[in-house]
Structure 1
Amino acid sequence: MHENPPRLGADGPRDTTEQARRNALLKAGALQNAILTSANFSIIATDEKGIIQLFNVGAEHMLGYRADEVVNQIRPSDMHDPEEVRARALQLSQELDTPIAPGFEALAFKASRGMEDIYELTYICKDGSSFPAIVSITALRDDHGELIGYLLIGTDNSVRKGVELQLNEALDAAEKANRAKTDFISSMSHELRTPLNAILGFAQLVESGTPAPTPTQKRGIKQILKAGWYLLELINEILDLALIESGTLSLSGEPVSLAEVLQECRAMVEDQARQRSIGMVFSRLEMRHFVKADRTRLKQVLINLLFNAIKYNHPGGHVTVACALSAPERVRISVRDTGPGLSAEQQGQLFQPFNRLGQESGGEEGTGIGLVVTKRLVELMGGVIGVESTPGVGSVFWVDMPLCMATQPLASDPLALESTRAEVPQGAPQHTVLYVEDNPANLELVELIVARRTDLRLLGAADASVGIEFARVYQPEVILMDINLPGISGVEALRILRADPTTAHIPIIALSANAVPRDIERGLAAGFFNYITKPIKVNQFMEALDQALAFAQTGHEPAPTQESA
């Protein structure tokens, strides 16, 4: 028995298809009507010449015009900021290598080439007020691909712009606060270093003076120096931490020889290790490793780890330093000690500021900042720091640094690079040194240091104006210049002396309590022969002075160095 064929009447498939089409058209009409009557979007359609043909309810609400006031009368560009229209027209003309078209066409030119564009524009309302908007522009084409107009859909962008403005203002305020913080740190560092310069300087002179101090006096001087250097260390560490956290610490990234740096660090810590009966073992490098780092800051990191390994060790213990590849492009520097070790809880608290892990009541001085600064410096140089420790056995602090290619050959003897102070022969001619300094205690300190050399005589000037005149009249071989002087600053005095042919040849050493790296870099860049920070270390000061005297006699200038306390 055959199944009856489907009927093609009112209830058949054809009627059902037509009904579906009608429903789809009705829904499309409803959707179109909802879009065109939306109060949240401005919808504007134009003809191919850019004249407005459709202006929906949202556009009326946003711009204040009635549809009958704009349809067939104006272009959308007439309601935009004219400066933005000209700028957009010029930009599109350059991008498309096309002459600027009049009015709105230029604004929508990309859309006319078949692309949709989204612009940030400023709409001008009927009452003259304005607001930022985001506008999507689309070219409208017929079935043959011919351009028949443009469709613009816009939204009010005021809220987002307001948030952006607030964010920018907040960023500006934060940047100003950062600059103020850095300036405050620099100022405080200077103010703290100035009295320390007198304390430590005069204590060093008394300790090595004639007649020699009595045993009781020596003990007192030793305590003064110990406390003074410790206070200086605290100032330096707080300064470093503040600069790192404010994002103003400047680091260089250059190939640094680990062999050279470890040799220099070893020379600096071996004396303290001997005093505490700690053995030092530096494993020989199997190959010449170069890491990308800031040389000065890498030394600071390693010396801090070495000093800690010596300080928190048992008498008769050992410190072992080793280097090995930890990954194809990284090298690990390990500092192993035989100290009491750290518990898991202590390891978790290691890198917290001012946390000394219960050592506050012990016999070892410390700030609880050193490891925090060390960790931040390592990370800023692209490295990683970690620790492995066993209570009762000891600890291993390690630093992983990125390897890089060397730009210059490694010196056969790294320590041979260090400058040495030449002995002053008897009967040598006397050299004149001018010191421009407004602080009487600082001037007296340098006078006493220089007085120990029979080949030197010191002239003092209390301000830059007098110092400049003294330099012109007495022609000193070397000038020592404070930076923060009343009236003319030390940097400005340097410029004046450099511009004068009679004094331009004299090497000028900055002698300042401005110890922020940014200040030192600016000083050297300004043209100072050297930059010595207060408090003065007498031996370093005399070495720098000898270098300047040698330059004054030969005209050969060694590479400028930074003699920081």
Structure 2
Amino acid sequence: MLKKKSRRTAEEIIKDTRETTDVQRHIALLKAGALQNAILTSANFSIIATDEKGIIQLFNVGAERMLGYTAAEVVNRISPSDIHDPHEVTARAQALTGELGTVIAPGFEALVYKASRGMEDIYELTYICKDGSRFPAIISITPLRDDYGSIIGYLLIGTDNSVRKRVEVELNLAMDAAEKANRAKSDFLSSMSHELRTPLNAILGFAQLVDSGLPAPTPLQKRSVDQIMKAGWYLLELINEILDLSLIESGRLTLSREPVSLMEVLLECRAMIEPQADKRGIRMSFPRIDIPYYVKADRTRVKQVLINLLFNAIKYNRPSGAVAVECALCPPHAMRISVRDTGFGLTEEQRGQLFQPFNRLGKEASTEEGTGIGLVVTKRLVELMGGTIGADSAVGVGSVFWMELPLTEAPALAEREMDFLPEVELPLSEDLPVHTLLYVEDNPANLELVEQLVARRRDLRLITAADGIIGVEFARTYMPKIILMDINLPGISGIDAMKILHADPLTAHIPIIALSANAVPRDIARGIEAGFFDYITKPIKVDHFMATLDAGLAFSQLADRDAATTTECTE
């Protein structure tokens, strides 16, 4: 009895399994049919199927809605290429011909060529509706194959791309508008910088003359001149920082990332900063670097960053405090440069507000002047050079500001090149030869300032010209040893005048130094690239001005010596 009952149960199980499988198959077919029906009746996608010759065999509801045709109007009548822009179909055939090295005929073949060879193909084309209107579409093409792999037709699934195209156009227009606004802002700042620097040149230039002139100013005059120069240099610092910040934010600041000797930069910064520290009674210490490390950065901007950090460490230090510069390797391939001070330190809240524009962390009422921009510019410069910057601080102990820059290899032939630099010394005897200096400038105050500066040089005789054309003629007539050239001149610009002189064999050897209030980095780079020997920005710093004249004279003397040697060899 038990065996018989067990046998019937097995038969029942087999029967139940078959019934279940049939039900599952039926459900699957219903689902497949529902899915197929949903796809074919979708109003959001155009679905077009063709035979192997490209004649439309299926035209779904979405295609009817998008294109305005009924299925009866197109099935067995036209090809999909007939409802695409013909110029785009021709262009696609040409592009495929160049891409695949096979001549592709315009028409349906151009639409399906890649898909028919098993390559995925999605492209953008313009659909032409029954009423003649057009809209952009994204089309995907898939070949339809039989059980033997032969192509029996093609399936084209398309979607309206009008919204995305409209957004792209609007975005491009917005980007163009933003670009124009950035250019306008940069041009405005450049113009503003020029206009502010021109009067500042007179203010600071004549103040330096009075301060260092003979007879020496009285103590009361000295205090007044010091206040003039202090306010003038502070205003110049503000102009520079606002200009830098604007250029960085607009993406127009250009950097030249190259191997920079860490030892050389620190030595230059030390020479610039120690006199300021001595005035305030701040002790300075710099690391001794025995191994020549190089960081990949912009040399000028690295100095700018370090000078700013050092000035802040001195400015906000305790009386008779100390500032220490430290260098440490930071794995895997970076160098950390730290500036440690013995100031009053920062609270946690103040540290969180670092690197915010125009935020002086409560120092607004202090006697120390500042703009609240320097650290913002410093941070963004470091990041643009591929580095990082940060700060640690403890109230009552002091602060450490640090930056990390990537290490790099030393430049090729760096040491050998130094061995071949010409050593030119100006004569030191009492009977100095007098050289002619031509200054091309139309601003009377600038002319008078340079006249008084050059009057202190027994080795220079100054002649002036008020515009570029006269400057060119004076250069050809007087053959000066060196030329100072303003950029914005009446008639022709200083750059055009310089190019004329460089093109003339008689004057091509004369070093021409730009002396201009155009101080935007791109203007300076453009001037150097154009061929100026050097570029001095206004307001003039007297020491830098004199050193540049000395360099120009040394170059001129070297050129004269080479010319004389060439003449002797020829004779």
Alignment TM-score > 0.5, same fold: yes
SS at match of 1:108: helix
CA 1:102–1:299 in 2, change beyond 3 Å: closer, same or farther? closer
2 CA distance for matches of 1:369 and 1:352? 8
Cα offsets for 1:296-355 (capped at 9, x unmatched): 111111111111111222222211111111222122111111122222222222222222
Structure 2 counterpart of 1:488: 492
Kept in 2, the 8 Å contact 1:6–1:12? The answer is: no
Q: 2: distance between equivalents of 1:260 and 1:68?
A: 83
For residues 19 and 366 of structure 1, do their structure 2 counterparts lie closer, same or farther at Cα, with a shift above 3 Å needed? closer
User: Which stretch of the first structure deviates more once superposed, 444-453 or 21-30?
Assistant: 21-30
Q: Is 1:391 aligned to 2:390, yes or no?
A: no
What is the match of residue 176 of structure 2?
A: 172
The residue that corresponds to 2:286 in the other structure is 282
Residue of 432, 442, 446 corresponding to 1:438: 442
Letter in 2 for 1:279: R
CA distance in 2 between counterparts of 1:185 and 1:195 reads 16
* Equivalent-residue separation in structure 2 for 1:211 and 1:19 (angstroms): 115
Q: Does residue 508 in structure 1 map to residue 512 in structure 2?
A: yes
Q: Cα gap change, 1:26/1:495 in structure 2, threshold over 3 Å: closer, same or farther?
A: same
2:229 maps to 1:228: no
Match among 364, 368, 379 for residue 364 of structure 1: 368
276-285 vs 262-271, which deviates more? 276-285
Q: Does the Cα contact within 8 Å between 1:477 and 1:506 map onto a contact in 2?
A: yes
1:155 maps to amino acid: T
Secondary structure of residue in 2 paired with 1:259: helix
Aligned partners of 2:540, 2:425: CA distance in 1, in Å? 17
Find out whether 1:187 has 2:159 as its counterpart.
no
1:312 maps to 316
Question: What is the CA distance between 1:108 and its match in structure 2?
Answer: 0.6
Against the structure 1 CA distance between its residues 100 and 464, is the aligned structure 2 distance closer, same or farther, given a 3 Å change threshold? same
Residue 156 of structure 2: aligned partner: 152
CA 1:323–1:20 in structure 2 vs 1: closer, same or farther (change >3 Å)? closer
Q: How does 1:306-455 map to 2 (within 5 A)?
A: 306-408=310-412, 422=426, 425-455=429-459
**CA distance in structure 1 between the aligned counterparts of 2:37 and 2:455, rounded to whole angstroms:** 98
For residue 29 of structure 1, what is the amino acid of its counterpart?
Answer: G
Match of 2:475 in 1: 471
Cα distance between partner residues in 1 of 2:457 and 2:380: 43
Paired AA for residue 365 in structure 1: E
Name the counterpart of 2:534.
Answer: 530
Q: Structure 1 residues 233 and 17, CA, compared in 2 at 3 Å: closer, same or farther?
A: closer
Letter in 1 for 2:385: M
Percentage identity across aligned positions? Answer: 72
Cα distance between partner residues in 2 of 1:357 and 1:392:
16
Deviates more, 1:373-382 or 1:418-427: 418-427
Shift of 1:93: 3.2
C-alpha displacement of 1:27:
4.1
- Report how far residue 73 of structure 1 moved: 2.2
Paired residue for 1:239, among 233, 238, 243?
243
1:140 corresponds to which letter in structure 2? Answer: L
Contact 2:90 2:106 in 1 (8 A): no
| Among candidates 141, 164, 167, match of residue 163 of structure 1 | 167
Which of 69, 74, 81 is equivalent to 2:73?
69
Structure 1, unaligned stretches of length 5 or more? 558-565
CA contact (8 A) 1:137 1:151 kept: yes
Is the CA contact 1:115–1:138 (under 8 Å) kept in the aligned structure 2?
no
Larger CA deviation: 156-165 vs 367-376: 367-376
What amino acid maps onto 2:330 in structure 1?
A: S
Equivalent in the alignment of 1:119: 123
SS in 2 for 1:406: coil
| Alpha-carbon shift at residue 467 of structure 1 (Å) | 1.6
Residues 138 and 298 of structure 1: CA distance in aligned 2, closer, same or farther (over 3 Å): same
In 1: Cα distance, 2:217 partner to 2:10 partner: 126
By how many angstroms is 1:506 displaced?
2.1
SS where residue 212 of structure 1 aligns? coil
Amino acid at match of 2:268: E
Shift of 1:418: 13
CA distance in 1, matches of 2:11, 2:280: 110
For 1:107, the equivalent position in structure 2 comes to: 111
**Partner Cα separation in structure 1 for residue 368 and residue 512 of structure 2:** 40
Please say if residues 89 and 106 of structure 2, whose CA atoms lie closer than 8 Å, have aligned partners that are also in contact: no
State the Cα distance separating 1:210 from its structure 2 match: 2.2
Instruction: Find the counterpart in structure 1 of residue 86 from structure 2.
Output: 82
Partner of 1:560: none
8 Å contact kept, 1:421–1:543: no
- CA pair 19-272 structure 1, distance change in 2 beyond 3 A: closer
In the superposition, relative to structure 1, how do residues 556 and 330 fare at CA in structure 2: closer, same or farther (>3 Å)?
A: farther
Amino acid at match of 1:355: N
Is the 1:51–1:74 contact (alpha carbons within 8 Å) kept by the matching residues of 2? Answer: yes
Answer 1 or 2: which has greater helix percent.
Answer: 2
Q: Pick closer, same or farther for the CA change 1:377–1:13 going to 2, 3 Å.
A: closer
1:562 aligns with none
Q: Is the partner of 1:496 in helix, strand or coil? A: helix
> Unaligned regions of 5+ residues in structure 2, if any?
562-571
Q: Deviations over 1:149-189 (max 9, x none)?
A: 10101111100111111111111111111111111111111
Paired with 1:312 and 1:23, the residues of 2 have a C-alpha distance of: 81
Q: Secondary structure at the match of 1:555?
A: helix
Mark the CA change 1:279 to 1:30 in structure 2 (over 3 Å): closer, same or farther: closer
Q: TM-score, normalised by structure 2?
A: 0.91
Q: CA deviation at 1:5?
A: 6.9
Alpha-carbon distance, 1:114 to partner = 2.8
Identify if the C-alpha distance between structure 1 residues 531 and 290 changes in structure 2 by more than 3 Å, giving closer, same or farther.
same
Residue 568 of structure 2 is matched in structure 1 by none
1: distance between equivalents of 2:477 and 2:199?
32
